[in-house]
Amino acid sequence: MSYYFLSHPYISIAERRRNAEREVAKLKKRGQSIAPVRIEDRTIAKSFWGQAWCANLERYSDYENRLPRGRSYVRNGSVVDLQIGKGEVAAMVAGSELYKINVSIAPVAKARWKCICRDCAGSIDSLVELLQGRLAKGVMDRVCREGDGLFPSPGEIEFACSCPDWADMCKHVSAVLYGVGARLDAKPQLLFVLRGVDENELIANAGRDSPLSRAPPGAAKVLNDTDVVALFGLEMANTVGLDDTNAPKPKELKRSKPVKRSKLPRNDKVGGAPASSQDNASRGSRGRPDPKSVSLVLARKRRANRRAHGAA
């Protein structure tokens, strides 16, 4: 058992809360501006940025042994003051006494930040969307990516605590790190301050195509001829695309040959019914003279000629 545990016996959560309240009252009386971390329920962080910060801490095995005690401390209000500045977190945590903690975080390298901004260009429409965490999945994955994202790795974090615990990360430091996640719920812009970058650079190229979403237009994103016809409610046998500048010229229409009309049979009417005998007779009379009438006419001419010779 270490000297720390021998000289500092266990203090209940209720006692730590009372100690924290007394220390806060003393600091306020001195005129010192303090910003305690208040957790309403057991959920430390609820926003995208706060949860992403806490998840980043828990992904590293370097911290897994000390983080549970830190969660307990931050939940019971032991972080009585937490100030976030550029590359630094200064805090005070109430335990058996008031301990001062300092966390230094390296700024994001310029080349790394430019790469993040380039990859996210055009994917974030406004600063409000950025700070509220209303981002596309590709952007979320990019800023949270291990190693070259926006969140720090253990090698970029250094910390110190005034407590006598000889562990690399004591529970007070762990509580402060979780306190940062809780603070980002209310002030997400502090993450960019802490990492030494300007969040406005992520939205500087709003409206441009994002490499995260840049891809050849798929069939579902382009209206083809069928979609255009359906869109306008038309029914067409052959459709032409919207851009027909390169469309092949229509072939000249050739005149079609006249259609031959079929002749009806002489002995049939239109409709297929057989012709009557009277119809046939009338058509025959119109076609050639009647022999009886011809002979009658000739007889009349002969009688007329005889009368003319007798008179002479």
Residues near 37 by beta carbon (within 8 Å), at least 6 away in sequence? 74, 77, 79, 82, 179, 182, 183
Average confidence (pLDDT) over 281-293 = 55
3-state secondary structure of 23: helix
Which tens digits make up the pLDDT trace of 190-227?
Answer: 999 999 999 999 987 655 544 454 433 333 333 333 33
Calculate mean pLDDT across residues 168-189.
Answer: 94
Domains contained in the chain, number = 1
Q: Residue 193 carries which side chain, given as an amino acid letter?
A: V
Is residue 235 one of the residues assigned to a domain?
Answer: no
Residue 258 lies in a domain: no
pTM: 0.63
Q: How far apart are CA 216 and CA 148, in angstroms?
A: 27
In this structure, is residue 213 part of a structural domain?
no
Do the domain assignments include residue 141? yes
pLDDT at 53 over 90: yes
Read off the tokens for 138.
């590709």
Identify the DSSP state of 131.
Answer: H
Residue 81: give the domain boundaries. 3-202
Confirm whether 189 is domain-assigned: yes
Residue 143 lies in a domain: yes
Q: What is the rounded average pLDDT for all residues in the chain?
A: 75
Is residue 119 situated within a structural domain? yes
Q: What are φ and ψ of residue 19, in 5° steps?
A: -60, -40
Q: Is the dihedral of CA 22, 25, 31, 35 positive or negative?
A: positive
pLDDT of residue 116: 95
More confident residue, 183 or 62: 183
Rounded Cα–Cα distance for residues 150 and 49 (Å): 11
Domain assignment present for residue 165? The answer is yes
User: Residue 171's pLDDT band (boundaries 50, 70, 90)?
Assistant: very high
pLDDT tens column, 35-46: 999 998 889 999
